[in-house]
Amino acid sequence: MILVTGATGRIGSEAVRLLAGRDLPTRALVRDTSRVPKDGAWSGVEVAVGDFDRPHTLDQAMRGVGTLLLISPSVPGQEIAVIDSAVRQGVQHVVKITNHKATPDSPVDRRRDHARIEAHLRASGLRYTLLGPNLLMQNLFAVAPMIKQTHGFVMSAGEGRFGMVDARDVSASAAAVAAAPAGHVGRTYLLTGPELITYADVAAELTHALGQEIEYRRITPEQHREAMVQAGLPEPVAASNAQVFGLIAEGDAAWLSDDVASLTGTSPRGLRAFVTDHVDAFR
Ligand SMILES: NC(=O)c1ccc[n+]([C@@H]2O[C@H](COP(=O)([O-])OP(=O)(O)OC[C@H]3O[C@@H](n4cnc5c(N)ncnc54)[C@H](OP(=O)(O)O)[C@@H]3O)[C@@H](O)[C@H]2O)c1
């Protein structure tokens, strides 16, 4: 049995669909059953109701599980609780979605958080595989309302290039590892799209797809932090996001890897495919 946490999220929901499509015994951990897809995409999937903050619900969901696909908003206490439950329930292998630059001394809090969780996972004695995606293309949905209203978006990543990856390819990579974990013990895979792009390229692709000029309005990380707070993001999240965009401007995410293709046997989707598939979200 494969248990997927964060199953209603961007990476998890598609991973569940792919695992079920391979007829692998799959269980999805959800907080709220109304979030289970109603279109049959999860046909044959067991649904376990649970919450990272309620360990007994995790223990129930973990019974009989061999492989855990661990996806969460990466709050250390929550993921550590899931790992501890996996140890208690005799899970054999954990596939964890992490950050591509998770180090204990990172200047970025979410990267330090992932490093702390990774350290706990290593010390747990469980077999594990780490998957570190570059920026997700699906992050672009956050600026869709601004694009619809103003035919442009603000961003503080300058001309920094990044190896943006479609979350569907992260899901496919995760499903491939979870389906046959024995060949991936102790390995770390870095997941990217096929090309290095900038936010100017994002604006150009959206312009092409929408048939209307979409402007990339360059702002500083400090202006971006203020704009995100104004838009309702909690201050620490806005500060952390702005910090990451400042790093991207300096080339922090300007790297590519072949790991999606080697795990899935299929080349990752590029930005044009993502925009084409989701153009209505930006219209
Ligand atoms: N965004 C990026 O560019 C990027 C890049 C690299 C790595 N990552 C990593 O990717 C991971 C996030 O994946 P994602 O984007 O697929 O996540 P997501 O779409 O934000 O979904 C989060 C999932 O966690 C569930 N969840 C939240 N709190 C919970 C709780 N207390 N108990 C049980 N479930 C809970 C949510 O359930 P509900 O539906 O009920 O809310 C949802 O299914 C993070 O570790 C992040 O660091 C992201």
208 CA distance to ligand 1 middle (Å): 31
Whether 60 contacts 50, CB under 8 Å: yes
**Residues of the domain holding 218:** 135-165+193-254+268-283
181 part of a folded domain: no
Residue type, 99: N
Cα 164 from Cα 36, distance rounded (Å): 27
Strand partners, 129: 95
Residues 123 and 86 in one domain: yes
- pLDDT score recorded for residue 32: 96
- pLDDT score recorded for residue 91: 98
Query: In total, how many domains does the chain have?
Result: 2
Cα 78 from Cα 198, distance rounded (Å): 34
Cα 96 from Cα 29, distance rounded (Å): 15
Cα 203 from Cα 192, distance rounded (Å): 19
Structure tokens at 230: 């104004």
180 part of a folded domain: no
Residues 44 and 107 in one domain: yes
Cα 79 from Cα 95, distance rounded (Å): 12
Residues 104 and 116 in one domain: yes
- pLDDT score recorded for residue 106: 96
Of 114, 133, 152, the one marking the end of a domain is 133
Q: 151: Cβ–Cβ under 8 A, 6 or more apart, which residues? A: 212, 213, 214, 215
- pLDDT score recorded for residue 187: 98
Q: Which atom of ligand 1 is nearest to the CA of 52?
A: 32
For a ligand 1 pocket test, name from 11, 34, 171 the mutation site with the most ligand atoms within 8 angstroms of its C-beta. 11
Mean pLDDT, consecutive 10-residue stretches, the chain (283 aa), reads 98 98 97 96 97 97 98 97 98 97 96 98 98 98 96 98 98 98 98 98 98 98 96 94 97 97 98 98 97
Residue whose Cα lies nearest atom 7 of ligand 1: it is 99
Residue 143: how many CA atoms within 13 Å on its side-chain side?
A: 21
Residue whose Cα lies nearest atom 10 of ligand 1: it is 97
Beta strands in the chain (DSSP E): 2-4, 26-30, 46-49, 67-70, 93-97, 127-133, 152-155, 188-191, 215-218
Residues 111 and 154 in one domain: no
136 lines ligand 1 (CB under 6 A): yes
Residues 15 and 123 in one domain: yes
- pLDDT score recorded for residue 48: 98
Strand partners, 46: 27
- pLDDT score recorded for residue 244: 97
CATH number, domain containing residue 206? 3.90.25.10
Residues 115 and 14 in one domain: yes
241 lines ligand 1 (CB under 6 A): no
Residues 129 and 209 in one domain: no
Structure tokens at 275: 């925009």
Residues 152 and 128 in one domain: no
- pLDDT score recorded for residue 197: 98
Instruction: Measure CA of the first residue to CA of the last residue in the chain; give whole Å.
Output: 41
- pLDDT score recorded for residue 74: 94
